[in-house]
Structure 1
């Protein structure tokens, strides 16, 4: 079959196509470009011969200093038929040609394709297994057979898998390769509640008894969220994003859809003890950014807040509640292991995606970018 035709599309065309999908990453929506002012955003569409729009992608262009050359990035996308047998020829080849014409020296994408899944019990067993140092060392609960074939086809056509670096198994580098999700589709809320482990259920009751209340906030509450977020960043040893980032995110996402982004805050005796953002696209709901103080941990505000968010997500008709990134490292010394235990306590499953992939259009400039990224503090 002939290659699909690729051209820029309007935000309206882009959103109309996304509305036909059961779910899509919020990073593949037109509004996400407004959150990233250091990048130039463009919506692209793949068209069949009859003119039908068959796929879309949000591309973010990051310029090289003093050169009109760009890194072209499609985070958690594009939104195309990844199972197509002619994926490379019909979909990816015209994309590379177009982006090269726009001055891209390298293309990075994140196929939203699942590779393996581990049940919550399998994750718990892996953490307890002294021979399992990373999640990938543990036997998965299920495989997605097409993912391995897709990875082989990408490698065969010149794409390179971007290996996550550092002790966190890619948790903080690029988009998360490992996430934790609780499936909601077809399940009553009582069944989801039964899926919580005993510690979660005890903590939710403890928070209720202590008088913790969880409320929805607005734009004006982002500074209160940010104060907790900055404390969390210092405690968990990551570099925080600035407050204007979250203000842009709120304005852009809620401007596109009034319920795209929500803010939740857990209160106790006049103190805000925890806060989190929740994102919704189609029937997929994400716990996006979370923050909490070390004060009054005994009243368990985080479990109370998460259960309120899960309850609201279920009411919205979500098919999945996505806890977002988890570490792949199972070592007790890893400071992110506690977060993995917390998320696994909600039931559900750990999921490995295919990860991010690079295509160097200029090997010299791509290598220069790799060296620069490796030397960053």
Structure 2
């Protein structure tokens, strides 16, 4: 029997998330406030006894000049993805509700892990000239249930999509991430998991006198100055300062320790800064920024180690470096980022990716054409 769908309150949504071991920060009510160009709605799945058994944050983005919407559930919804009746009991009621709300297309990102590669496996894959992508290397572990979910989604009419940016309609979260497992490990165990270069750089930063401190809302402009420099150097389009100010205000209002800012100084100069997000026992390194000056004092390693230390003190089960490239091509500038994250003892993790359901195929196709031209 299909579950009953209804809009739920912020408090109901937060209570449901708090009872789960892990949930993405993009599935919190506060995330809707970070995205003012989208209309946010908290959805709940109720069983036959009226108990809340699933929840999701839906973001609606209107089509220009039309009251039709792209409905997006980033890294969600939070439901029983392994249920044998996933389509009929869980997803069909959701699609019916979103259609009533005027959605012409639905995008979601099941929080389901397909494969994992240990830090050693990633290192071996990078060194293997025959491996062009992570998927060419043997995974350390894989979950066959994830492939079954993918097949059931395809049969139900869902289409797997490639990840994109988040600007405008190009909504997307990373399919491949790098995570350092913390559960059941002491800080000394985690430190031993750092590679030699990481340990050397942390010591170098300490010897040089790099100081890492926590900042507040008033320090966001200083963070942003470094972030804008990073964007110009690495050739990506930066978000405006107002985005980070809105993010801080919304997330810390929901929980005072949901978002943190870290700043790495050397002799009075700000050299690196980063934001850290926490939901339950999952901690994310969210946005990072650094200057090209004084790289020899290794402020990034010092800052990340402070963040990892604090995350461990918070009781984190995982420290999540977020997105990585799946390419192992030496000519790709993102390979250095993969090396950096795996060097911290991070394992590469492949999620099921994002999936689209075209409710109105004509409008969905028009959106695809529009995005391709952009």
Query: Offset at 1:84?
Result: 0.6
2-structure distance, mates of 1:375, 1:130: 35
- Give distance in 1, aligned partners of 2:73 and 2:163: 17
Alignment of 1:151-166 (within 5 A): 151-164=150-163
- Equivalent residue for 2:181, pick from 183, 186, 190: 183
**Could you tell me how far apart the structure 1 residues matched to 2:74 and 2:278 are?**
17
Paired with 1:208 and 1:173, the residues of 2 have a C-alpha distance of 40
User: Post-superposition shift, 1:164?
Assistant: 3.8
Given that 1:231 and 1:292 are in contact with CA atoms closer than 8 Å, whether structure 2 keeps it comes out as yes
In 2, Cα distance between equivalents of 1:176 and 1:129: 24
Match of 1:119 in 2: 118
Q: Does the CA-based 8 Å contact 1:42-1:58 persist in structure 2?
A: yes
Does the 8 Å CA contact 1:117/1:142 hold for their aligned counterparts? yes
**Other-structure match for 2:269:** 271
Q: Runs of 4+ in structure 1 displaced over 6 angstroms? A: none
Structure 1 position 79 matched with structure 2 position 65: no
Tell me the number of residue pairs that the alignment of Structure 1 and Structure 2 aligns.
Answer: 370
Work out the CA distance in 2 between the residues paired with 1:343 and 1:140: 17
1:151: how far off? 0.2
d(CA) in 2 for partners of 1:165, 1:35: 19
Cα pair 1:236 1:335 within 8 Å, conserved: no
* 1:242 shift after superposition: 0.6
TM-score (norm. length: structure 2): 0.98
Is 91-100 or 138-147 further displaced after alignment?
Answer: 138-147
What is aligned with 1:49? 48
**Equivalents in 1 of 2:217, 2:358: separation in Å?**
40
- Residue 230 of structure 1 is matched in structure 2 by 228
- Correspondence 1:100-179 to 2 at 5 A: 100-164=99-163, 174-179=172-177
Q: Does 1:221 align with 2:219?
A: yes
2:314 to 313, 316, 327: 316
Aligned counterpart, 1:14 = 13
Give the direction of change, closer, same or farther, for the CA distance of 1:253–1:165 in structure 2 (3 Å limit): closer
Unaligned 5+ runs, structure 2: none
Contact 1:182-1:347 within 8 A present in 2 as well: yes
CA drift of 1:237 comes to 1.4
Corresponding position of 2:368:
370
Matches of 1:64 and 1:89 in 2, distance apart? 29
Distance 1:133 1:316 in 2: 37
Give the match's secondary structure for 1:107.
Answer: strand
User: C-alpha deviations, 1:94-131, integer Å up to 9, x for none?
Assistant: 00000000000000000000000001111111111111
**What CA distance in whole angstroms lies between the structure 2 residues aligned with 1:356 and 1:314?**
30
Instruction: Give, in whole Å, the separation in 2 of the partners of 1:328 and 1:62.
Output: 29
1:68 aligns with 2:71: no
Question: With structure 1 as the length reference, what TM-score do the two structures score?
Answer: 0.97
Instruction: Report deviation, 1:133.
Output: 1.1
> Structure 1: where are the runs of 5+ without partners?
167-171
Query: Cα offset for 1:163?
Result: 2.5
